[in-house]
Structure formats: structure tokens, C-alpha cells
Amino acid sequence: MEEFYKRKLPHIQPKGATFFVTFRLAGSLPQATIFELRAARETEMRVAATNEERYLAERRHFGRFDEALHLSHGPHYLQQPALAQIVTDSLHHRDQRFYRLDAFSILSNHAHVVFAPLHKGVNLDGSAQYHKLSKIMQSLKRHTATECNKLLGRQDAFWQAESYDHIVRDEAEWERIVQYVLDNPVKAGLVSEWEEWPYTYLRSD
């Protein structure tokens, strides 16, 4: 079963997990759209009787969420190559330092990334300790926000505080999600083949 990480709420990060994370620009969705998405999700989750039904409800919710981002009239700062490159470089910089980077795509107002936090040591009870997802995202978003805002000449919030985080359940789901990430620029009509988009990445090994 997937778990979603809520800012300011306690959560458990499964050891050795791979994550699919979507993060978006501040103001990229109007509040009315957010309320509509939330209400639709809550309605579906109330009638979901099993873990599998809840999982499918979350998948539908994410589909609506991502579609809303593609239709958004909010800020599209990442359509500027210099800003998209800052995010690209930051994702690569943390690869093999904090996580194994599997795939990403950067669109005009949001980014999708798939990665697995790396082992960083051993806890007092002898269990493996991994870099925390929350810390990884905090570092990534703080650095890229600072650098992008410098180029934009602004100081306001760059990223929306919350991210959409999903634990990849198995290899089959990993393949489906990675293909979804790679196809995002194609879906947006930016290129005809995912390899043509300069801000898309797939781990080669």
C-alpha cells in the first residue's frame, strides 16, 4: 500500500524504498482547483473498502492532479531554459550522494522524479539508516528556489511547500511510473519522442 507524506505530520519511511515525487511551483494551481481535487479524492477514499481500492483511488487522484497542472494558467518559470537547467543540475548533483536517481522530467510548472534514498549508516538498534525523503526534498527545493529566484529577481516562494510523494510498490509499478515520467513532455505536446526533451533523464544501467 502506498503512503503519502504530509508536511508537519509524523510519518514512517520504509527502509530501501523507491519514491515517485512530484513537486510544483507555488501558485501553479488555483485554490478552487485544489479544493475540487481534494473533495473528489475524499469522496473516493470514503467508499474504498480495500487497500487495492484505495491505491486505485490515489492513482485516479494523481491523474486529475497532473492534468490540472498541464492546464494551469499559473506561473511557468521552468519554461525558461536557465531555470530548468538549475533543477536538472541539482537533481544530478545529489545522485549517488543522497539517492540513486532513476528518472525525472521537468515541465514548465512542475517536475516528476523517481529516486531511491541511499543508505547512510546504522541506527543504534543495528537497523539500516537511509537519507530521509523530507530532508532530500527540503534541500533540493531550497537550493533551486534560491538560485532560480536570483535569476528572476524575486524573493517570493518559488515552490509549493507540499510535494506529492508515492512509494513504488514493485518492479512492474516502477516501470509504469518511469514510463509515465518520460512521456510527460510528449503528453504536453513539447516533443514527439521523450529523448528529444532536454530536461528528461533515465538512468542507463
Q: What does the pLDDT look like over 75-108, one tens digit per residue?
A: 999 999 999 999 999 999 999 999 999 999 999 9
What is the structure's pLDDT at 12?
A: 54
Closest C-alpha among 146, 161, 157 to residue 75: 157
**Whether the predicted pLDDT of 5 surpasses 50:** no
What is the structure's pLDDT at 35?
A: 77
Judge whether 144 and 106 are in contact, CB under 8 Å. Answer: no
Average pLDDT, the chain: 86
Virtual torsion, Cα 77, 81, 87, 91, nearest 10 deg: 150
What is the structure's pLDDT at 201?
A: 97
Judge whether 63 and 9 are in contact, CB under 8 Å. Answer: no
How far is the CA of 62 from the CAs of 103, 132, 146, 187, in angstroms? 18, 23, 28, 15
Closest C-alpha among 20, 21, 57, 66 to residue 39: 57
Q: Which residue has the higher pLDDT, 11 or 51?
A: 51
**Whether the predicted pLDDT of 9 surpasses 70:** no
What is the structure's pLDDT at 182?
A: 97
The three cell numbers of residue 132 are 530521509
What is the structure's pLDDT at 1?
A: 30
Name the CA radius of gyration of the chain, rounded: 17
What is the structure's pLDDT at 183?
A: 95
Q: Give helix 81-93 / helix 133-152 axis angle, nearest 10°.
A: 150
Q: What does the pLDDT look like over 17-48, one tens digit per residue?
A: 899 999 999 988 877 777 787 787 787 778 77
**Whether the predicted pLDDT of 110 surpasses 90:** yes
According to DSSP, the residues that pair with 173 across neighbouring strands are none
